[in-house]
Chains A and B, each alone.
Chain A
């Protein structure tokens, strides 16, 4: 797991801290033990399985060296899946940062009905993924009876069968719809903590709206944006339910991400060894991202 880079370690251990340690240990222990079991045991087991030929349909299992890993990295479908994951994460990130920032800035202004508008803009984040998937798949993007198809015929185009022609774009649209509000919520909260005196002073000094945006507001959003980037990357690497509900990884392998590939190998093929090797790889990838997130959070802890 990740070793956080810690900056404030008090040297030595006085009698007082020792007494404290004794007293707080029973309070901490349940949480710590449970999380240890939850994070370490399955991880070790996944690593163990990844070195075995282990298929639930054909027991028993046997050590097979690094064969699962050799297959993993020589199989072209692995690289397709990794590429799909990159496209999904990057597409959703770009959309949610760009639109999330714009919407947060718009909603931060004072205007009539502001609170209701905020609730409306943030609401999609609270919609569970399978529902989000179905709204888009059936009601909006369906080529025959969907709203988007009807709008396109209105302006003289042919309706598009989104999930067959642009499957990954469709998935990115659905996830963006759920994650733009997340970025909006975080950035709006950050904007509300912006020192209004500073903005007022800049205004007094004659700084125009765009200049204030460029030199005061956007720099203030730098850190929250980086937090959104890291959190969303981690969540989106594990994106599952929308793909499961709409395309099932298809057509072909067009929307099979790394996560979805592991799911199919594990619970469709019951090929535990090869799923575990891919799982270890996904864990390593996520931990690289987590390292940066933890560093950023660690800094706020010390601030």
Chain B
């Protein structure tokens, strides 16, 4: 006995309305990016106009923009590769050789994620300054790696837990060492899980704004810092700013959409699957 057709139609319309309302600001940014500056601030708002790519050219012509885009790529990919490399063996040990301290270790790692960044802003800032890593990609890569490490360990751990122990057990009996097990068995078996973990790490590092704004300036800033900082002087150039913003969020929107369900594990530390 299904609900009546009319109630299903109403619920479908409501669902679509909700989705459209949530998406609308992104859509409006996208539309504005294809306008000229004059069209962008026109009232009443223009719905029908000849789209132009001029704002995209203008936005990327700015040398700063390209550098910051490159920084975003380097920092998010670099920190992700590092975080996975450090977390993979740890998650392997935690998932397949649980000892009496396993739970404590996991919980403690989670607790480091709860430390409000602003509470340790000064020590980290002064440390980076003293070792001359302020406003460097390396400094930001380090911060993002450590920031995401607990989530990466947890998410990998959660995916490893789903793999039957017997497979690795059999390999162990045959004398396959931990390194071989990790590379030749675990990596392929947990492939999709590792890929979503890497994606979440890239997304979080790409969108990270607090550290990027506070420990970088003109050399190592990411797009998040670029857009946050240039909001004031370029505030009047809405089309250009929209184009820059579209380019900054587009890759993450695509990544996020590809893997949204699996991301939930990482975002909730395995509490919701």
Contacts and interface: CB of A to CB of B under 8 A. Distances in A.
B14 to A, nearest CB: 5
Interface in A129-162: 129-140, 144-145, 147, 149-150
Interface string B111-142: 11011111111111101000000000000000
A2 B207 contact: no
A11 to B, nearest CB: 9
B97 A133 contact: no
A189 B90 contact: no
Contacts of A298: 103, 107
B22 A121 contact: yes
Q: Taking chain B's interface residues, is the majority helix, strand, or loop, or is none over half, making it mixed?
A: helix
A297 B270 contact: yes
Interface string A24-62: 101110111011001101110110010000000000000
Nearest to A286: B116
A177 B89 contact: no
Interface string B37-71: 00011111100000000000000000000000000
A94 B44 CA distance: 33
A10 B206 contact: no
Interface string B251-273: 01101110011011001111111
A124 B123 contact: no
Contacts of B81: none
B43 to A, nearest CB: 5
B237 to A, nearest CB: 10
Given A124-B23, A185-B264, A294-B110, A267 B214 contact: yes
A127 interface: yes
A282 B118 contact: yes
B97 to A, nearest CB: 5
Contacts of B75: none
A107 B15 contact: yes
Contact of B227 (A123, A131, A147, A192): A131
A132 B242 CA distance: 11
A231 B26 contact: no
A139 B32 contact: yes
A139 B271 contact: no
A249 interface: no
Contacts of B245: 131, 134-135
A24 B93 contact: yes
Contact of B271 (A26, A266, A300): A300
B77 interface: no
Interface centre among B87, B119, B206, B270 (most CB of A within 10 A): B119
Interface string A1-31: 1101010111001000100110110111011
B190 interface: no
Interface string B190-218: 00000000000001001101100110000
Contact of A282 (B1, B116, B150): B116
10 contacts: A1-B111, A1-B115, A17-B99, A28-B90, A123-B256, A124-B23, A129-B207, A130-B227, A262-B121, A279-B116
Interface of A: 1-2, 4, 6, 8-10, 13, 17, 20-21, 23-24, 26-28, 30-32, 34-35, 38-39, 41-43, 45-46, 49, 102-103, 106-107, 109, 111-114, 116-140, 144-145, 147, 149-150, 177, 180-182, 185-186, 189-190, 192-193, 203-204, 209, 223-224, 227, 231, 234, 237-238, 240-241, 244-245, 259, 262-263, 266-267, 272, 275-276, 279-280, 282-283, 286-287, 289-290, 293-294, 296-298, 300-302
